[in-house]
Structure 1
């Protein structure tokens, strides 16, 4: 048994439940008499939608296939070898479930080294090797192809990325060494750092070719056939592959510096993965691949044993698994069909909802409002957005015409909603207004219609209290911008029945939203946590801490934006309204900031001005601030804020607002964009000891988002 085989055999014991990828070798005669060729196909035996991954057993299978191919290359019976995947899927990297089970640094190091030793063989077979990216490729799936001599890509590839930094790792099987040496440091920084930190942005087939990662681009219908013809031409010397020369001078340094600026802007030094990856890219400038491979192994092992990676894997599992199986959702068989949707309101939020419903459900959508001008404006917004989608090539003319035809507006609710199955309101956030709207809607809709509210903080139970059928009222809270943020808080009022709830979850699935069941409690989940979070930041400012100190205090969390920038995005008036709602419910924990109230009264859109091109405290806002004389350090302010968040989450779980801490994290990730490296928030609070200090217990079981014990 070879050293690599021994390494992988030992590591396999650490990966229970690995979905094993086979590496099938078949031989074919290349076109134009180019000779006999060995083609290796990666296939996990599952249906075409299930990703092919690499764990120790899978790597061992590829290693065994390469043994056979290498023998044939040495004997001169083949002229080259290729690597491809099953239909629609090339390979999507390491088996993440197994990575999360590694408990020792040496085990993590063994997996990194094993992957390198197998993949490197593709460059050392003695004959040219070709990677045919026929479908989705991520992480190790990209890296295995980088070890080949040449690469082709299908125009139909839907997703291609090196997502490791997004999860808290580095591309550790050759990506940091090989990619910059192939396409230059700047393009490598784009793929490894920039795309990963932008919510794991994916590349399409044409982009892969344009970046120089692939040497040829072919249509998906006959991709492999055309790739083999191209391969024959290369092997016969009829085609020469031209690649741009890599600039190893100052351009390399500028690229790494750009990457560091991107990392600073996104994670503020809070997560190490991006910086470790940039160190590796910087080292790759020397061209000493083996030295960088060794450094990749060490970086990978260090990060696998770190908290950010465990939190990242936990977060990945939340959005890939828990999000698709909402905890507490009723039997989907109870859901009623929705063939027409009514939207009460025609403002920006209501118009965004109308656009989403018509795009996803493709049923008639009717908007109403208090006057014709507002109705026309709302319908006009939806039509204009459909035209924008047409202009971008996202939909064709026929679909655009059909969608626009489905969206109409009326003043008379009886006329518009008489045959609606699902009506959602998005009107002014006052309980009396919403009660009146629902009373009007109930009087004209069919008996089976579901009534949904997009309230961000008000009681669904109170909203439905005076209705004849309160059981059909459900909270359906979207997050702004509606088209971007996946979360949908589905709120069960005290009298909401299973049919209404099941229909809400069914509609959420059609809308492609992440639905989380939430108890009818003030501000539900995301707004309650964010209001406590931002409220404590505001409190330390009101008490005397300078604004810039309070803002910097939470930078180590690596949040997508600072608290006051987030307040500006939400709108100070809305932030004030939610804080007032929560103050009425929990006056001992939620204080209404007089400074925030003053900013709202002055009509300011936020605390900052941007005249210099970057956020600076608006002088007019500074003149409004009335502060005490208690000045806190960044560390003191951060502890104050995080203790408050930990307390609030503990109380929410005690109240049963959601089923488990995992739902809190899923809500923050998908509704507020909190980063994967935090795992939402509870893994971070556990890791820093805040949960136990404040609540006397951890939120999560040891090993769930941390190193196994």
Structure 2
């Protein structure tokens, strides 16, 4: 529990769990907790109550607990962050009950870790999430934001339905979905209703609020009927520029002049999307990450003609949605998808050239990422991954490739590279038969260097292009949008301390002391 909870973002235990595990000696109701605690403590001190605790098993059970802790640490960070392993070493050494030696070991571990790069990266990451996220760099004056009293959602698929639910729960204003046929509209509204019922069943909302939320969501086929009085309209339709331009043209024709037109595109140009509209200044990128309810990041994209009032309104809505908003330049794939596509694209290149899949995957394990590149590809969807790589290849053909093997996997209708028949990921034999590889086989270290060099290069170019204000925004995006760990600080602190930034770009991303021991 010491290891597992701390590695799960310091997940806290409830009182019943603490008592059940034997960590606490007594359990009291919340209503009179303080009074009962004092009575219990007085009884123990006065000798009228004896606290009985079972003898600690310092045999096999102790060793098994430490082994279990190491397995959890390996699964979470793959040896990348030292703190959990130092804690396990101390617990293992404490088996003989020498309290003094245990305290001495703790003191030495703390002294070592306080000067370590992982702790400094963790503090840096904490400050990004707790401070920088609350004051987005480049956001316009809040006073310019317009009120949002009704939201329109174009599309009623899974992503659009998730967005409708989020707007409904956070803003508690009318939300209207539209789609191309009634069956889709009904399915989208039905999804929202079903999710509200789940919240009711879990006690997250009461019956009155559930009824009120259900009453606020509706679906129509006619955009004029649904959007004529909407203040904020977001599209979540097929990721093709022509389709999105048509949708915005239809919406602009019926929406009020002040309404914000937002797009959830993951990689397409917001400026191009708005280029044929009469009022392109009110179009903003509003890119969520899936699952919408879990990942905090919201990339807010300013098109070439987006005005401050529209942008301020977008940031105001983001705050009410309780999202971490980062201002992003209108550049291909924005921040997270651009970095992840370069990262995963280089892994795919290594595989295509001849390195075994298992070696390429294992190469990046020392980073301690939440999942391997090909498992992430499965979560995103190979077709979406291929689409984004094609978009970036058109923009930057010298750095982004389109893998023929990935295209073959998509064409075959495979959902990923792995099967899980044994309970663990194993290369799908059908996918293995599709792969056409060269004869260049890299070691894990060579593959890792190549991948990280590519990431460092791409981040350097993004900063030069002004995609975001500073490297800190890159890291904030990766932490909150891709789940990259605190011990990496996102990624730039790791690239700095590993010497990769200077090797690739000739300079570090961060000044000394920002995410490292002060010079």
TM-score interval, normalised by the smaller of the two chains: over 0.9
Is 1:610 the counterpart of 2:420 in the alignment? yes
Structure 2 CA distance for aligned equivalents of residues 538 and 644 of structure 1: 13
Q: Give 3-state SS (helix, strand or coil) of 1:443's partner.
A: helix
Once superposed, what is the RMSD of the aligned Cα atoms?
1.3
Deviations 1:256-283 (A, max 9, x none): 1111111111111111111111111222
Deviations 1:316-338 (A, max 9, x none): 11111111111111111111111
The equivalent residue for 2:181 is 371
User: Which shows bigger deviation, 222-231 or 478-487?
Assistant: 222-231
Structure 1 CA distance for aligned equivalents of residues 371 and 63 of structure 2: 28
The equivalent residue for 2:453 is 643
Q: Give the C-alpha shift of residue 416 in structure 1.
A: 1.1
The equivalent residue for 1:435 is 245
Q: Give 3-state SS (helix, strand or coil) of 1:209's partner.
A: helix
Deviations 1:386-420 (A, max 9, x none): 11111122222222222122111111111111111
Greater RCO, 1 or 2 (C-alpha within 8 Å, sep 6+): 2
Q: 2:88 aligns with which of 252, 274, 278?
A: 278
The equivalent residue for 1:361 is 171
The equivalent residue for 1:251 is 61
Q: 1:204 aligns with which of 9, 14, 33?
A: 14
The equivalent residue for 2:272 is 462
Q: 1:680 aligns with which of 486, 490, 496?
A: 490
Q: Give 3-state SS (helix, strand or coil) of 1:367's partner.
A: strand
Is 1:656 the counterpart of 2:462 in the alignment? no
Question: Are the structure 2 counterparts of residues 281 and 419 from structure 1 closer, same or farther at C-alpha, using a change threshold of 3 Å?
Answer: same
The equivalent residue for 1:487 is 297
The equivalent residue for 1:14 is none
Q: 2:223 aligns with which of 405, 413, 416?
A: 413
Q: What does 1:149-164 align with in structure 2 at a 5 Å threshold?
A: none
Structure 2 CA distance for aligned equivalents of residues 483 and 283 of structure 1: 42
Q: Give the C-alpha shift of residue 227 in structure 1.
A: 2.5
The equivalent residue for 2:141 is 331
Q: Give 3-state SS (helix, strand or coil) of 2:81's partner.
A: coil
Q: What does 1:232-311 align with in structure 2 at a 5 Å threshold?
A: 232-311=42-121
The equivalent residue for 1:28 is none
Question: Are the structure 2 counterparts of residues 208 and 333 from structure 1 closer, same or farther at C-alpha, using a change threshold of 3 Å?
Answer: farther
State the TM-score, normalized to the length of structure 2: 0.98
Q: Give the C-alpha shift of residue 216 in structure 1.
A: 3.4
Is 1:342 the counterpart of 2:140 in the alignment? no
Q: Give the C-alpha shift of residue 254 in structure 1.
A: 1.2
Q: Give 3-state SS (helix, strand or coil) of 2:254's partner.
A: coil
Q: 1:567 aligns with which of 361, 374, 377?
A: 377
State the TM-score, normalized to the length of structure 1: 0.72
Deviations 1:648-703 (A, max 9, x none): 00000000000000000000000000011110000111011110111111000011
Q: Give 3-state SS (helix, strand or coil) of 1:270's partner.
A: coil
Q: Choose between structure 1 and 2: higher strand proportion.
A: 1
Q: Give the C-alpha shift of residue 198 in structure 1.
A: 1.7
Is 1:669 the counterpart of 2:479 in the alignment? yes
Q: Give the C-alpha shift of residue 206 in structure 1.
A: 3.7
Is 1:474 the counterpart of 2:290 in the alignment? no
Is 1:690 the counterpart of 2:500 in the alignment? yes
Q: Give the C-alpha shift of residue 221 in structure 1.
A: 5.0
The equivalent residue for 1:161 is none
Is 1:511 the counterpart of 2:321 in the alignment? yes
Q: Give 3-state SS (helix, strand or coil) of 2:438's partner.
A: coil
- Structure 1 alignment gaps of length 5 or more: 1-189
User: Which shows bigger deviation, 576-585 or 250-259?
Assistant: 250-259
User: Which shows bigger deviation, 200-209 or 253-262?
Assistant: 200-209
Deviations 1:180-223 (A, max 9, x none): xxxxxxxxxx1x21112122222234433333333334454544
Deviations 1:233-267 (A, max 9, x none): 43444444344443322221111111111111111
The equivalent residue for 2:330 is 520
Deviations 1:466-489 (A, max 9, x none): 111111111100001111111000
The equivalent residue for 2:198 is 388
Structure 1 CA distance for aligned equivalents of residues 363 and 12 of structure 2: 32
Q: Max radius of gyration: which structure? A: 1
Deviations 1:306-364 (A, max 9, x none): 11111111111111111111111111111111111111111111111111111111111
Number of residue pairs aligned between Structure 1 and Structure 2: 519
Q: Give the C-alpha shift of residue 382 in structure 1.
A: 1.1
- Structure 2 alignment gaps of length 5 or more: none
Q: Give 3-state SS (helix, strand or coil) of 2:285's partner.
A: strand
The equivalent residue for 1:598 is 408
Structure 2 CA distance for aligned equivalents of residues 575 and 229 of structure 1: 61
